[in-house]
Amino acid sequence: MRKKKKIILSNVLIEAYAAEGKSLARVEGKVIFAEGVVPGDLVDLRLNKNKKDWAEGTPVQFRSYSEDRVQPFCQHFGVCGGCQWQMLPYEKQLEYKQQQVTDSMKRIGKIELPEMRPIRGARETRFYRNKLEYTFGNKRYLLPGELNDEEINSQIDVAGFHARGFFDKVVDIEKCWLQPEPTNEIRNAVKAFAIDNGFSFYDIRLNHGFMRTMQVRTATTGEVMVNMVLGEADHQKIEELMHFMKISFPSISTLLYTINTKKNDSLYDLHPVVYHGSGYITEEMSTGKNDEILRFKIGPTSFFQTNTRQGEELYRITSEFADLTGAEIVYDLYCGTGSIGIFVSKLAKKIIGVETVVAAVNDAKENALINNVSHAEFFAGDVIDICNDAFFAEHGRPDVIITDPPRAGMHEKLVLKILEIEARTVVYVSCNPATQARDLNLLKEKYTVTQIQPVDMFPHTLHIENVVQLKLK
């Protein structure tokens, strides 16, 4: 078959921000979406998709740059894909994220909106993540300037992140600005040790290799957890590697390893082995009330907000929107390890958490005990199945519902269940304003949106959290 000729448009002015990290231009009435550009850039675009009314393009040459641009601080920017917006000042990033929420609410939600609060920006815009997972691989992603150099070999062992759009190539990372030290020191030392000792690095196509991934978790308490995920059960190599890490990095509070010979990287059906320490770390969050500090036990597979300090802000807003007086029964849907329910528990009569992942529910129960929260109960299963008349008769109907679904949003059956329950207040926490707006459109049958608060959890990325308060009509 003949390949379609690529269309290149010259001197295209990028006019505005669209959503999900894309900006837009208009050429002869057609809207063109492009990544890697910002409003004010003048570029030549190669069209990757070309429909009747819209197209998607990639910049092939910059004629001039937007005045809004700043110099990215990371040497890997534009290659690893972890931070898409370092070329924008943080204030501009917040402006575009606020715009994204507004556009989603109006265009997809099609609902009457109150005046939106200004986005809550992060105090720390670097080294803010408490969890990262690095990949070890035997194929290095080549930079654009290296592609035609026959002397450069991509078949070398590297440690970093998957290159965006390439499942089998890894960007070799020297320094990542997302997580505080000792994360970079550990990764670079482990990589060098493995190479010096001839340990094979994972080949994702062949599902073969000893060094696979490394998960690093840090806490505001100073504790550090490292879980080495290894593709072979070679216990001599495992002992050598674990011993090296333990003596080289006394700052590692707990050190684990996990054997994974599967083709996927999921750890939830595997069993981490504790080599050193307790097997978990403890994180702390402040509620902002009476110096109250909550403590959460975090294991290698626990879910926890990836930005602890902004997580506190997110939960404080959620607590405020819940309008609790101490007399309410609160249902925490998609409760995970129970962090939101526990965070608001002092202001509620009872907390009922529902989560499909059994391990997360067990973590939630333990976290409730750690924080002396005796009026919280957590249940494993689907909300649609659990929340029936018999359950309400035993535990009470909710006065307030807090829901924090994944990016796909709530299942339509759950939206219908919430409409059926008719709690007086619903607080919808979302990491995807588009699917949140879709669900709000369905909830408008019985609910009015009364407050909206965007929160930036992940500076220099396109991601945005949004908290919405709904009141029963």
Sheet with 42-50: strands ordered across = 8-13, 42-50, 54-64, 30-34, 22-27, 16-19
Which residues, 6 or more positions from 51, have their beta carbon under 8 angstroms from its beta carbon? none
- Residues 45, 36 contacting (CB under 8 angstroms): no
Nearest Cα neighbor of 12 from 4, 34, 20 is 34
Nearest Cα neighbor of 66 from 100, 29, 36 is 36
In sequence order, what are the beta bridge partners of 293?
286
> Does residue 182 have a cis peptide bond before it, meaning omega lies within 30 degrees of 0?
yes
The sign of the CA dihedral 121, 124, 126, 131 is negative
- Residues 246, 334 contacting (CB under 8 angstroms): no
DSSP E strand stretches across 239-312: 254-259, 273-276, 281-286, 293-298
Q: Pinpoint the alpha helices (H) of 77-158.
A: 90-104
Helix H or strand E segment including 379: strand 376-380
Helix H or strand E segment including 442: helix 433-443
Which tokens sit at 178? Answer: 């997302």
Which tokens sit at 121? Answer: 């920006």
Token look-up 């309410």 returns 328
Catalytic (active site) residue 431: yes
In sequence order, what are the beta bridge partners of 72?
none
- Residues 232, 210 contacting (CB under 8 angstroms): yes
Helix H or strand E segment including 437: helix 433-443
DSSP E strand stretches across 86-193: 131-137, 158-162, 170-172
C-alpha span between 446 and 426 (Å, rounded): 11
C-alpha span between 458 and 177 (Å, rounded): 12
Which tokens sit at 184? Answer: 């970079």
Helix H or strand E segment including 57: strand 54-64
Which tokens sit at 379? Answer: 């249940």
- Residues 110, 68 contacting (CB under 8 angstroms): no
Dihedral class, residue 128 (left if φ above 0, else alpha if ψ from -120 to 50, else beta): alpha
User: Among 74, 83, 335, 431, which one carries the catalytic annotation?
Assistant: 431
> Does residue 250 have a cis peptide bond before it, meaning omega lies within 30 degrees of 0?
no
C-alpha span between 180 and 256 (Å, rounded): 20
Task: Please give the positions annotated as active site.
Answer: 431
